[in-house]
Structure 1
Amino acid sequence: MARRTGRAAATLRFEVLEPRTLLNGSATDDLFVRFKPNLSGGTIQTALSTVGATVVEQYPSGPMLISLRAGVDQSRVLQWFQFNPLVSYAEPNSTIQAAAVIPNDPYFNQQWGLNNANNVDIDAPEAWTLTQGRYTTIVAVLDTGIDLNNVELTSRLWVNPGDLSGSDGFRNAIYGWNFVNNNNNVQDTNGHGTHVAGILAASGNNAYGITGVDWYSKIMPVKVLDNRGDGTTESAVNGIYFAVNHGARVINASWGGGAYSQALRDAIAYAAMHGVVFVTAAGNDGLNTDLTPSYPGSYNLNNQITVGAVDSQGRLASFSDYGTRSVDLVAPGVDILSIIPGGFASYSGTSMAAPFVSGVAALVLSLRPDFNAEQVVQRILSTTKPLPGAAGKTVTGGIVDAYNAVNFAANVTSTATEPQGDGIPTTVTLVPNGTSDYDLLAKILATDDFYNGYGGTNTGFVTGLYQTLLGRDPEPAGLASWVGRLNSGQTRIQVIETFERTPEALQVKVAHWYQDTLGWNASLAQLKFDPGVIYWSTLLAAGQTDNAVLARILSTNDYLIASGGTNEGFVTGLYQSLLGRSTDPESFNYFVGLLQGGMSRANLVQKIQNTVEAKRTKVARWYQDHLGWNQSLPQLQLDPGVRYWAGFLGGD
């Protein structure tokens, strides 16, 4: 019988955080598509040819079953059809299968985080219909070690295939390494690490005890905490490098609470460079970490997921740290049953929430081992299940959902090299982090989605650029000139990057700012000739970045006076201008306090501009202004495509 204890007590010094008959489907490579009535056969054939589709069967009621050629990404084609104005509907040709896999582990019915009657869970049984993990996926658990003799973990242990002689500094590192005592003894003498490992990867369907999220991945124990649950930044940093260099694809770090460490951040960034996902607990202090950062959770790196905790009713745990910019999502973290040395126990803590997410990352990688770390992170963040308890408390406002994550991954072909979603390119273009506004917008407008949306011709494409970047139709001479560039061999990117730096395009860009961030009601045609708009556009032409010029606009006395002439009014105005929403009390008071403490208005503007939320708002406004999307800013900020592109934006 499970032994119940209190909240997970393990604390790094720098503080450890402690078969159904219903039918469901996953897609084949075919799609059902119904075009709108009265379209010519030529129009329909052009649409099908654009995406490499052939008709398998035409049904009397109107829809057709189409097949895609090898190498075409089914999920992106589906999205293309669903947003095509010529199409009434499009849907995958689903396979019929059991809706859930229920393991025979006797305590499974007590694991509410995996399967809960009220749907506050990660939908694990549904995910297991698609994948239960893969032996080749290695997950490092950086913790107090694990119980090497526990039947739930013995078949799951990673065994070092490399040199054990010690030539790399780790002699006889058979299962992992102990960075507390610098030896190969990774046996758990605390219980915290074993409990975490059990949630993540206890053997499933073995008719014993519990089941983990992932049934087959290999666990690499890396001991960075002692028997009291204490550790140092040094041990954590060494542990990360060890895990990465020995083949881990996911690192679970159920600890934190320390001050900022550049060395620790560099280690996590090193993991990102090598395709390793870093999952960490948000913290157990009940704090808003947007205002009171806690590391490593607050680093906000692209390969990182920071996890808060909820209870079985979907309420944010009273102890869980939170933050709409610093905590990505939530996972089950209250009364979580797992293994400990010698038995079972239920613990509570964000330490327990993190391994649910690490397990889901391992499941995604079992289907898509070609994904890099950022792609795995984007899959998980863009497929969370909305949860009221997480709304306004986390970046996504949702709980990790294993089924959504792996189903999304399963429907993407292995040729993809970028995560996909609404508004994400149908031709893959590698985008470096820290990309400028100019370059990123060019990459969005250079996608096949944009090109095909204007008829799939060079003339239509240039017409789209005029309407998108200049707010008007082209004149014949200009149209002929730009089309000529394309016909002579210039790429779409090259044409866009030249186009968007023309004086008129820069003036229209600033005019959009006047409309979106300053609330001016004049038309683009009127605003682009405004003396102020022309002045600011000359600064852009001289090489100043978008953020720098906009920060200067928002720092003027005119803006301050228009906002009421007070620090409080100024901050309220910035929320509307940069985030597209009203203030929330905690961050509002924080920003006002910065101004009262002597921070300049320009520096505060740039501080907000560089937040994840502001970057997503910026891209969401591009979708509205340049792509013609009609959704509201709050809806677009949750769009996977918006989140994907915003992740590449640089700061100033």
Structure 2
Amino acid sequence: MRTRWVGLLSVLAAAVLLLPQTRLLDTKPDGNSREQQVRSEQQEQSAKLAAVDQDKEATAMLCMTECTKDFRRMMAQTTSGSSRAKMVDHMMSSHQHMHYVSWIAGSRSVHKGKLPPTKSGTASSYVTAAAARVKQGGKYESPVFQGDDGSSYMVLGVPDQRSKGMGIVSVVMQDIVKQVEAHQRRNLRLVPYPHEGNYRIESVDPNTNQDIHVQSGEDNGNASHYHVKDVVVKFTQPLSKQDLNKIQYEIRAISTRQLRDHYIFRSQDMDARQLVDYFNEVWKPAYVEPHYLYMTNETAQEQQAIVPNDLLYSEYQWNLPSIETEKGWSRSKGNEQVIVAVLDTGVQQNHPDLQGKLVKGLNIVDSNAEPEDDVGHGTHVAGIIGATVNNGEGVAGVSWYNKIMPIKVLDSSGAGSTYSVAQGIIWAVDNGAKVINMSLGNYAQAEFLHDAIKYAYERDVVLIAASGNDNTERPGYPAAYPEVFAVGATDAKSKRASFSNYGDYIDVAAPGASIASTYPGGQYAALSGTSMASPHVAALAALIRSANPKLTNAEVMDIMRNSAVDLGTPGKDNDFGYGLIDVDRALSAATQSSTSLQNYPEQVKARLNEISRRYMN
């Protein structure tokens, strides 16, 4: 099945070959070059659309495979009617996309949930056909159909392999496929994102801050976005209360926020340019800049490989074997004391495959709410890092034991402000995060955000960021800041993914095409993007810090660079940086570093704890 999975990606890999190495963003084209640019953009869009279709198909496969295996596991575990009912209740409560489940077992049959209403009785007809097929010992999958509620459904029938005439029939909601399509069209910048006006925002050229109008997803590759009537100001001297009152009066401020020595002012009627001029002329600050938005960037001795039993691993998770994760697990599976902060759209707190993996987080978008995920992006990123391994459920994360700190800095549209991201970084550092993953970005440098990144770096935190999904050489931020480890994406053929940004700031590459991971609703989805590549590297950084806690953040970054497998042009190049990460080689280097001898007692203690945990579980 893995061959089939990799084969499905070959269309995407082939599309990559059609793409030019650079885009003509900064030159004024003549007639012929303009025609070539249009053709190049059309080819790039075709490759991205192929990636979206790939993710949709893979997500539908994941959904059906997961349900089928869950039902077979249930049927293998129980014989009594009461236990059947309890297992069905538990399954439906943790997998809310299962709307109806009928466990066919003669007089001890169990029926839970309701059929979705359909005008022509489509659902009932498919359920009847599925039941008949199951009783004959065959599997059944209906076509996708529309319910009167506007949702998409599919009927699945799974026979009991031990008892003829018995089995399970379920009506499964398939809206996740539509959600993935909408999500990925934004994430891969196939549509203008975010929509101008949603935040009272403007799109600008990141070099000049001159207005540009984003009419297509292609235009996102040369645009940054900011709040129309906001500015971020860092003063050279602390403001007195009188000074602050004066500013608020003169700019007719409707809100003022402070984060350490930075202020964010929002005016009732002055735009960002007027505010910048006002502060530069009257207050002579250290700097004043627009309040930018950031968006998701959704792609030695031979060690014995450890192959986990997670339901979807062997068939769909091509990404982990490709970076030697299975061998690396023999060296380290992580340590719960090394926390990875995920600055994103939040994380589903009760996802079955993330239970026990989350520590207390923060919702910066809504301070009165938990950092729940209302997009899907953050839950997917979190699963790549740390979905529970070897629990027979769903997918496996890169790390077995590192904890995840969910920090919601992006709202339901997948966008968040400089303030939100900066506050998230500082909060993560102050609350014990050792690694921070940022699958988000913009093309404008913001001093406010850079100050927060310096704060984290100076406190020995490893910062990882996605490079972006616009197939452009233009540096994206925060990935291009020198304190941040920048990640590009590869596909299943170890080629640069068609959407992945590139450039001399790229440190390494990691898998980012059709990556299977956790998704809201207790589900699983396949998504593509450098957003998916970045958490592979964040998890590796956490494994390295678990294997050798004495290493500094700079040493961790050097180990990941130096242990990477060279791809493309020999040596460091713009497509892959130092190459594709290698978990086994990186962990081998970490345990053999110059700090290994002085760290030996901690390594022994960690190893004993791991052995103890293994035999207690």
Q: TM (normalized to structure 2)?
A: 0.49
| Higher relative strand content | 2
Q: TM (normalized to structure 1)?
A: 0.47
Q: Which has the higher contact order (CA 8 A, sep 6+)?
A: 2
